[in-house]
Structure 1
Amino acid sequence: MPREPELSLNERSFVLQALQENIRIDGRSFDAFRGLELNFGDEYGVADVKLGKTRVIARISAEVTRPFPDRLFDGIFTITTELSPIASPAFEVGRQTDQEVILSRILEKAIRRSSALDTESLCIIAGQKCWNIRADVHLLDYDGGLTDASCIAVIAALQHFRRPDVSVEGENVTIHAMEERVPVPLSLLHHPICVTFSFFLGGGIVLVDATLQEEMLRNGELTIALNRHGEICQIAKLGGVAVEALTFLNCTNIALVKAQEISRFISKKLEEDLKEKNPSRLLVELSAENER
């Protein structure tokens, strides 16, 4: 089964010795993220995220479909992931690795199950028609921090996406073209952000946003998903190393600060993208949203 090339004994000793001396190979502090870049595509709902050398693209699509029989008043929201060999030799086409399964479950719990997207707002006609929103996550380059980068990409893409406006007369549904009516943003109740912590040397050293080299040496990991209001959406503890209560509390405090910083960063990028692509549309969308 394909996998990442293992580190040599010299590399392992060098990285661990540096950590014991409170030094990371790339010069960051233990609680610092790598450089974060966020760009949006020409169409609505495409977010390109670069976290260090890790690059993830999320794309949101929408189609009208029939709701689930047990959720007649809700729309449908799904998240799919694709880890291709273009990003790393550890991934294969058509075969899910354990890492891809874990990533899918974390994103599912952190974003969909936490009701970040208001699925009731996707209902068009109860029991008959609703919007099916799909988020596709594609990994283009891999150097650690996959969960955090993927979560940022999905949340940014959801905020950037606009669906066509719909009018209903009786049982007749009309989907208006983007040029005909101002497209409608999705109703997001909150914006969860994942922050992953890696534990080394029996849990004595904790790092934020580990690189691939660091991930290959860690004893365990902890992913905390929370929004800017401090509401914890999910906690995923992986690996066998135990985490003390005080260390865990410190991780949640750090995660809150990082989530708030990233949320502000995404909001800033959204405003810049809106002004750059169509300065006049900002006022149009705001007024249209107020009318609704």
Structure 2
Amino acid sequence: MSSTPETSIIPKIKMNAILNVLAKGYHIDKRPLLSYRQIDVIKNISPNADSSVLVKLGYTQVLAGVKIEVGQPFPDNPEEGVLIVNAEYIPAASPTFEPGPPDENAIELARVIDRSIRESKAVALDKLVLVPGRKVWVVWLDIYILDHDGNLIDASMIASIIALAKARIPYYEIDQVTGNVKIDRSKSAGLLPLNKLVSSVTIYKIGDVLVVDPTAEEEAIASASLTIAISEDGNIVGMQKRGLGTFTEKEIEQALEISLNRGKEIIETIKKFLS
């Protein structure tokens, strides 16, 4: 498990250099401000998971794994399956990460991913009921930050959605008398049912400039960020603001426009990795 302390301190000289580059319309790696780094995906990383995906966003690396088990539904949603999202910052991922229980950053990351998937109804939880009111599929989505070079939320969302879309439900048989469920993981009952895909676009305010997909050094000097989740049908399904800085009304309008455009592009990229 992990604890993530305060963001690493950037020397003032380097901070000014980064701000000067951003003011000219480019990231420090020479990308335009609203361009993402290259996205690479490796599937089936963990053979014991029902699905696993490693996403590389520049030098940021995130592993998402899915495990599907039989469990009980939540009392307030007896006719739906269960989705549980956890996130863990691996200490080796960054010099600023330390061993220990997950802190508010890891918890917030998991909640942003969970809320975006849940509010969009991306996973068809109503199709995961085995014995109404008694037995359902419980979908565990675990996110591991392996290398941190900025923009962990967007990288985690990409990994999570691909992992869920590639997850296969184990073959099962239900005893009609007892209601017991017998699982055979050597066979599959089909893919985990999804209603739609979801992406997130996190807009960072650095100085007076709005950027997407910053490196860790750029992210360290951001005053605020706004994560906007976009569903495949073009709806905004979640928002999360972080940092002590503020966004003006005009900047929020710009952020919404950026997220709708970039979110659509990311979903098209995700589809390519699903084919």
Fold match, TM over 0.5? yes
* Matched residue, 1:30: 33
Give the percent of matched residue pairs that are identical in Structure 1 and Structure 2. Answer: 29
Which one of 68, 72, 82 corresponds to residue 74 of structure 2? 68
Query: Whole-Å Cα distance in 2 between the matches of residues 96 and 178 of structure 1?
Result: 31
Q: Which amino acid aligns with 2:85?
A: I
1:153 to 2:159 alignment = yes
Is the Cα contact below 8 Å between 2:7 and 2:220 reproduced in 1?
Answer: no
Cα distance change, pair 74–119 in 1 and its aligned pair in 2 (3 A): same
1:97 to 2:108 alignment = no
- Cα deviation, residue 46, structure 1: 0.5
Q: Which amino acid aligns with 1:21?
A: K
Q: Which amino acid aligns with 1:8?
A: P
1:177 to 2:184 alignment = yes
Q: Which segment is superposed worse, 95-104 or 56-65?
A: 95-104
- Cα deviation, residue 236, structure 1: 1.1
- Secondary structure of the structure 1 residue equivalent to 2:93: coil
Query: Whole-Å Cα distance in 2 between the matches of residues 142 and 134 of structure 1?
Result: 23
Is the Cα contact below 8 Å between 1:2 and 1:90 reproduced in 2?
Answer: yes
1:252 to 2:259 alignment = no
- Cα deviation, residue 237, structure 1: 1.7
How do 1:103-252 residues align onto structure 2 when only pairs under 5 Å count?
103-168=109-174, 170-171=176-177, 172-175=179-182, 177=184, 179=186, 182-201=188-207, 204-252=208-256
Is the Cα contact below 8 Å between 1:2 and 1:92 reproduced in 2?
Answer: yes
* Matched residue, 1:39: 42
Query: Whole-Å Cα distance in 1 between the matches of residues 110 and 173 of structure 2?
Result: 34
Cα distance change, pair 9–241 in 1 and its aligned pair in 2 (3 A): closer
- Secondary structure of the structure 1 residue equivalent to 2:133: coil
* Matched residue, 2:60: 54
- Cα deviation, residue 88, structure 1: 1.3
Note the alpha carbon deviations across 1:100-124, whole angstroms, 9 max, x for none.
Answer: 1321221121112432212111110
RMSD of aligned residue pairs (Cα, Å): 2.0
Note the alpha carbon deviations across 1:172-215, whole angstroms, 9 max, x for none.
Answer: 455453555x43111212222111111122xx310011111011
Q: Which amino acid aligns with 1:164?
A: P
Is the Cα contact below 8 Å between 1:4 and 1:88 reproduced in 2?
Answer: no
Report how many residues are paired: 268
**Bigger fraction of residues in strand:** 2
- Cα deviation, residue 22, structure 1: 2.4
Query: Whole-Å Cα distance in 2 between the matches of residues 56 and 235 of structure 1?
Result: 21
- Cα deviation, residue 94, structure 1: 2.7
Query: Whole-Å Cα distance in 1 between the matches of residues 99 and 134 of structure 2?
Result: 36
* Matched residue, 1:262: 266
- Cα deviation, residue 2, structure 1: 4.9
Q: Which amino acid aligns with 1:78?
A: I
Is the Cα contact below 8 Å between 1:164 and 1:175 reproduced in 2?
Answer: no
- Cα deviation, residue 93, structure 1: 2.6
- Runs (5+) with no aligned partner, structure 1: 272-292
Query: Whole-Å Cα distance in 2 between the matches of residues 13 and 41 of structure 1?
Result: 42
Is the Cα contact below 8 Å between 1:197 and 1:222 reproduced in 2?
Answer: yes
Is the Cα contact below 8 Å between 1:64 and 1:129 reproduced in 2?
Answer: yes
**Bigger fraction of residues in helix:** 1
- Secondary structure of the structure 2 residue equivalent to 1:86: helix
Bigger Rg, structure 1 or 2: 1
- Cα deviation, residue 243, structure 1: 2.1
- Cα deviation, residue 136, structure 1: 0.5
- Cα deviation, residue 253, structure 1: 2.1
- Runs (5+) with no aligned partner, structure 2: none
Which one of 2, 7, 10 corresponds to residue 10 of structure 2? 7
Cα distance change, pair 159–5 in 1 and its aligned pair in 2 (3 A): same
Query: Whole-Å Cα distance in 1 between the matches of residues 96 and 66 of structure 2?
Result: 26
